[in-house]
Amino acid sequence: MTFRVLLAVAGAITLAIALSFAKAPAKRQDSTWTEFPAAANDPPQSGLQEIVLAGGCFWGVQAVFDHVAGVERTMAGYAGGTAETAHYEMVATGTTGHAEAVRVTYDPQRVSLGQILRIFFAVAHDPTQRDRQGPDVGRQYRSAIFVAGGEQERIVRNYLAQVEAERPFRQPVVTRIEPLPRFFPAEAHHQDYVLDHPNEPYVLLNDRPKLEALQKLFPHLYRDRPQRVSDRN
Protein backbone atom coordinates (compact mmCIF):
# COMPACT_ATOMS: atom_id res chain seq x y z
CA MET A 1 0.00 0.00 0.00
CA THR A 2 1.50 3.35 -1.04
CA PHE A 3 1.59 6.49 1.02
CA ARG A 4 -1.02 7.94 -1.35
CA VAL A 5 -3.52 5.28 -0.34
CA LEU A 6 -2.70 5.69 3.34
CA LEU A 7 -3.26 9.41 2.97
CA ALA A 8 -6.67 8.83 1.45
CA VAL A 9 -7.71 6.85 4.52
CA ALA A 10 -6.23 9.18 7.10
CA GLY A 11 -7.30 12.31 5.26
CA ALA A 12 -10.95 11.99 6.25
CA ILE A 13 -10.01 12.95 9.80
CA THR A 14 -8.28 16.19 8.85
CA LEU A 15 -10.18 17.09 5.71
CA ALA A 16 -12.40 19.79 7.21
CA ILE A 17 -9.41 21.57 8.71
CA ALA A 18 -7.34 21.30 5.56
CA LEU A 19 -10.09 22.58 3.30
CA SER A 20 -10.58 25.62 5.50
CA PHE A 21 -7.09 26.68 4.42
CA ALA A 22 -7.65 25.80 0.76
CA LYS A 23 -10.52 28.07 -0.26
CA ALA A 24 -8.28 29.43 -3.02
CA PRO A 25 -6.34 26.98 -5.18
CA ALA A 26 -2.87 26.91 -3.57
CA LYS A 27 -1.06 23.59 -3.57
CA ARG A 28 2.38 24.59 -4.79
CA GLN A 29 5.74 25.29 -3.19
CA ASP A 30 5.36 29.03 -3.56
CA SER A 31 1.71 28.94 -2.44
CA THR A 32 0.35 30.46 -5.64
CA TRP A 33 -1.19 29.27 -8.86
CA THR A 34 0.94 30.87 -11.53
CA GLU A 35 -0.31 31.65 -15.01
CA PHE A 36 2.62 30.53 -17.11
CA PRO A 37 3.46 32.52 -20.26
CA ALA A 38 1.90 31.64 -23.60
CA ALA A 39 4.25 29.75 -25.90
CA ALA A 40 6.23 32.12 -28.11
CA ASN A 41 6.78 29.31 -30.61
CA ASP A 42 3.56 27.38 -31.19
CA PRO A 43 3.39 26.36 -34.87
CA PRO A 44 0.19 24.83 -36.25
CA GLN A 45 -0.18 21.06 -36.42
CA SER A 46 -2.63 18.92 -38.37
CA GLY A 47 -4.45 15.72 -37.46
CA LEU A 48 -4.80 14.32 -33.96
CA GLN A 49 -1.60 14.62 -31.93
CA GLU A 50 -0.31 12.91 -28.75
CA ILE A 51 1.95 14.05 -25.94
CA VAL A 52 2.89 12.09 -22.78
CA LEU A 53 3.13 14.14 -19.60
CA ALA A 54 4.27 13.13 -16.12
CA GLY A 55 3.61 15.32 -13.10
CA GLY A 56 3.07 13.29 -9.96
CA CYS A 57 0.05 11.09 -9.43
CA PHE A 58 -1.55 10.36 -12.78
CA TRP A 59 -5.03 10.68 -11.29
CA GLY A 60 -4.86 14.46 -11.09
CA VAL A 61 -2.99 15.03 -14.35
CA GLN A 62 -5.57 12.95 -16.22
CA ALA A 63 -8.43 14.81 -14.54
CA VAL A 64 -7.03 18.19 -15.62
CA PHE A 65 -6.71 17.25 -19.27
CA ASP A 66 -10.07 15.50 -19.31
CA HIS A 67 -11.49 18.98 -18.65
CA VAL A 68 -9.58 20.70 -21.48
CA ALA A 69 -11.63 21.46 -24.58
CA GLY A 70 -9.93 20.01 -27.64
CA VAL A 71 -8.50 17.00 -25.80
CA GLU A 72 -10.02 14.00 -27.51
CA ARG A 73 -8.93 11.33 -25.03
CA THR A 74 -6.51 10.62 -22.20
CA MET A 75 -4.95 7.50 -20.75
CA ALA A 76 -3.18 7.12 -17.41
CA GLY A 77 -0.12 4.92 -17.63
CA TYR A 78 3.62 4.50 -17.29
CA ALA A 79 6.57 5.82 -19.30
CA GLY A 80 10.32 5.58 -18.97
CA GLY A 81 10.76 1.89 -18.18
CA THR A 82 10.21 -1.53 -19.68
CA ALA A 83 7.09 -3.60 -20.32
CA GLU A 84 8.09 -6.08 -17.62
CA THR A 85 7.95 -3.41 -14.91
CA ALA A 86 4.92 -1.44 -16.17
CA HIS A 87 2.70 -2.49 -13.26
CA TYR A 88 1.52 -0.27 -10.44
CA GLU A 89 3.03 -2.27 -7.59
CA MET A 90 6.43 -2.33 -9.29
CA VAL A 91 6.34 1.30 -10.43
CA ALA A 92 5.46 2.33 -6.86
CA THR A 93 8.88 1.15 -5.68
CA GLY A 94 10.49 4.02 -7.58
CA THR A 95 13.18 1.74 -9.01
CA THR A 96 11.76 0.86 -12.46
CA GLY A 97 12.58 4.07 -14.34
CA HIS A 98 8.87 4.55 -15.01
CA ALA A 99 6.97 7.69 -14.18
CA GLU A 100 3.24 7.79 -13.64
CA ALA A 101 2.22 9.56 -16.85
CA VAL A 102 -0.76 10.53 -18.96
CA ARG A 103 -1.04 10.23 -22.72
CA VAL A 104 -2.98 13.22 -24.00
CA THR A 105 -4.52 12.99 -27.47
CA TYR A 106 -5.66 16.37 -28.72
CA ASP A 107 -7.06 18.15 -31.76
CA PRO A 108 -4.58 20.94 -32.60
CA GLN A 109 -7.33 22.83 -34.41
CA ARG A 110 -8.99 23.35 -31.02
CA VAL A 111 -6.09 23.34 -28.55
CA SER A 112 -2.45 23.72 -29.52
CA LEU A 113 0.60 21.94 -28.11
CA GLY A 114 1.72 25.25 -26.65
CA GLN A 115 -1.57 25.55 -24.77
CA ILE A 116 -1.30 21.94 -23.57
CA LEU A 117 2.17 22.66 -22.19
CA ARG A 118 1.03 25.90 -20.60
CA ILE A 119 -1.75 24.09 -18.73
CA PHE A 120 0.64 21.31 -17.71
CA PHE A 121 3.00 23.79 -16.07
CA ALA A 122 0.37 26.18 -14.74
CA VAL A 123 -2.12 23.88 -13.03
CA ALA A 124 -1.58 20.15 -13.69
CA HIS A 125 1.40 19.91 -11.35
CA ASP A 126 4.17 21.84 -9.60
CA PRO A 127 7.23 21.76 -11.90
CA THR A 128 9.55 22.99 -9.14
CA GLN A 129 9.28 19.79 -7.07
CA ARG A 130 12.01 17.27 -7.87
CA ASP A 131 11.02 13.59 -7.80
CA ARG A 132 7.82 14.27 -5.91
CA GLN A 133 4.45 16.01 -5.95
CA GLY A 134 3.00 17.00 -2.59
CA PRO A 135 2.65 13.87 -0.45
CA ASP A 136 3.86 11.53 -3.22
CA VAL A 137 7.62 10.98 -3.15
CA GLY A 138 9.87 9.06 -5.56
CA ARG A 139 11.19 9.15 -9.13
CA GLN A 140 7.90 7.70 -10.33
CA TYR A 141 6.36 11.10 -9.47
CA ARG A 142 8.94 13.22 -11.33
CA SER A 143 8.06 16.10 -13.60
CA ALA A 144 8.77 14.99 -17.15
CA ILE A 145 7.64 15.39 -20.74
CA PHE A 146 8.16 12.32 -22.89
CA VAL A 147 8.70 13.31 -26.49
CA ALA A 148 8.62 11.40 -29.74
CA GLY A 149 11.33 13.54 -31.34
CA GLY A 150 11.13 15.84 -34.35
CA GLU A 151 8.90 18.91 -34.29
CA GLN A 152 7.28 17.89 -31.01
CA GLU A 153 10.62 17.82 -29.22
CA ARG A 154 11.60 21.17 -30.68
CA ILE A 155 8.38 22.84 -29.49
CA VAL A 156 8.72 21.33 -26.03
CA ARG A 157 12.37 22.34 -25.66
CA ASN A 158 11.62 25.88 -26.84
CA TYR A 159 8.80 26.25 -24.35
CA LEU A 160 10.81 24.85 -21.46
CA ALA A 161 13.63 27.27 -22.31
CA GLN A 162 11.10 30.11 -22.38
CA VAL A 163 9.74 29.13 -18.97
CA GLU A 164 13.24 28.86 -17.51
CA ALA A 165 14.13 32.28 -18.89
CA GLU A 166 10.96 34.03 -17.69
CA ARG A 167 11.00 32.25 -14.29
CA PRO A 168 7.29 32.38 -13.34
CA PHE A 169 8.20 30.69 -10.03
CA ARG A 170 10.63 31.74 -7.34
CA GLN A 171 12.05 28.20 -7.46
CA PRO A 172 13.71 26.77 -10.60
CA VAL A 173 11.73 24.44 -12.84
CA VAL A 174 13.06 20.86 -12.71
CA THR A 175 10.99 19.31 -15.51
CA ARG A 176 12.91 16.76 -17.58
CA ILE A 177 12.54 16.10 -21.29
CA GLU A 178 12.85 12.36 -21.93
CA PRO A 179 12.53 10.16 -25.02
CA LEU A 180 9.39 8.04 -25.36
CA PRO A 181 10.24 4.55 -26.57
CA ARG A 182 6.84 3.29 -25.44
CA PHE A 183 3.81 4.17 -23.30
CA PHE A 184 2.08 1.52 -21.17
CA PRO A 185 -1.57 2.01 -20.11
CA ALA A 186 -2.21 1.69 -16.38
CA GLU A 187 -4.62 -0.74 -14.78
CA ALA A 188 -8.34 -0.12 -15.36
CA HIS A 189 -9.07 1.01 -11.79
CA HIS A 190 -6.62 3.91 -12.19
CA GLN A 191 -8.46 5.33 -15.22
CA ASP A 192 -10.90 8.20 -14.54
CA TYR A 193 -10.04 7.91 -10.84
CA VAL A 194 -10.98 11.50 -9.96
CA LEU A 195 -14.22 11.21 -11.92
CA ASP A 196 -15.15 8.02 -10.07
CA HIS A 197 -14.00 9.19 -6.61
CA PRO A 198 -14.75 12.92 -6.48
CA ASN A 199 -15.19 13.03 -2.70
CA GLU A 200 -12.19 10.94 -1.68
CA PRO A 201 -10.01 12.98 0.73
CA TYR A 202 -6.89 12.63 -1.43
CA VAL A 203 -8.79 13.90 -4.46
CA LEU A 204 -10.35 16.80 -2.56
CA LEU A 205 -7.03 17.91 -1.15
CA ASN A 206 -4.77 17.39 -4.16
CA ASP A 207 -6.84 17.28 -7.34
CA ARG A 208 -9.94 19.41 -6.91
CA PRO A 209 -7.82 22.58 -6.51
CA LYS A 210 -6.20 21.86 -9.89
CA LEU A 211 -9.60 21.73 -11.60
CA GLU A 212 -10.64 24.95 -9.87
CA ALA A 213 -7.43 26.61 -11.05
CA LEU A 214 -7.96 25.34 -14.61
CA GLN A 215 -11.43 26.85 -14.71
CA LYS A 216 -10.16 30.12 -13.25
CA LEU A 217 -7.02 30.57 -15.36
CA PHE A 218 -8.24 29.00 -18.63
CA PRO A 219 -12.01 29.53 -18.78
CA HIS A 220 -11.96 29.52 -22.60
CA LEU A 221 -10.46 26.00 -22.57
CA TYR A 222 -12.35 24.55 -19.62
CA ARG A 223 -14.81 21.74 -20.36
CA ASP A 224 -17.23 21.02 -17.55
CA ARG A 225 -18.26 17.43 -18.37
CA PRO A 226 -15.54 15.08 -19.59
CA GLN A 227 -16.27 11.69 -21.05
CA ARG A 228 -15.01 8.51 -19.46
CA VAL A 229 -12.02 6.63 -20.88
CA SER A 230 -14.37 3.81 -21.89
CA ASP A 231 -16.38 6.30 -23.96
CA ARG A 232 -13.37 7.71 -25.75
CA ASN A 233 -11.24 4.68 -26.58
**Spatial distance between the Cα atoms of 177 and 160, rounded to a whole number of angstroms:** 9
Q: Are 32 and 46 contacting, i.e. CB atoms less than 8 angstroms apart? A: no
Annotated active-site residue 24? The verdict is no
Helix, strand, coil abundance in the chain, percent, nearest 5 = 40, 20, 40
Q: Are 183 and 146 contacting, i.e. CB atoms less than 8 angstroms apart? A: yes
Q: Are 101 and 183 contacting, i.e. CB atoms less than 8 angstroms apart? A: yes
Q: Are 92 and 58 contacting, i.e. CB atoms less than 8 angstroms apart? A: no
Catalytic residue among 52, 53, 54, 57: 57
**Spatial distance between the Cα atoms of 222 and 57, rounded to a whole number of angstroms:** 21
Burial of residue 162 (CB within 10 Å: 0-12, 13-18, 19+) is middle
Active site (catalytic) residues: 57
